[in-house]
Amino acid sequence: MKAGNKIKYSHLFSDPKPGQLAVGDGWLPTLYDFLDKCDKHSKKIQIAQIKEKFGQARIYADNTDEYLGNLIKETIHKLNNTCEVCGKPGQLNYEKYIRTVCKEHV
Residue 95, pLDDT score? 87
Residue 18 domain flag: yes
Domain span at 72 = 3-80
Residue 25 domain flag: yes
pLDDT tens, the chain, 106 aa long: 444 455 688 889 988 676 678 899 999 999 999 999 999 999 899 999 999 999 999 999 999 999 999 999 999 999 999 999 999 999 999 988 899 999 999 9
Residue 93 domain flag: no
Q: How many domains does the chain have?
A: 1
Residue 54 domain flag: yes
Q: What share of the chain is helix, strand, coil (3-state, %, to 5)?
A: 40, 25, 35
CA atoms in the 13 A half-sphere facing the CB of 104: 9
Residue 19, pLDDT score? 67
The structure's pTM equals 0.89
Residue 99 domain flag: no
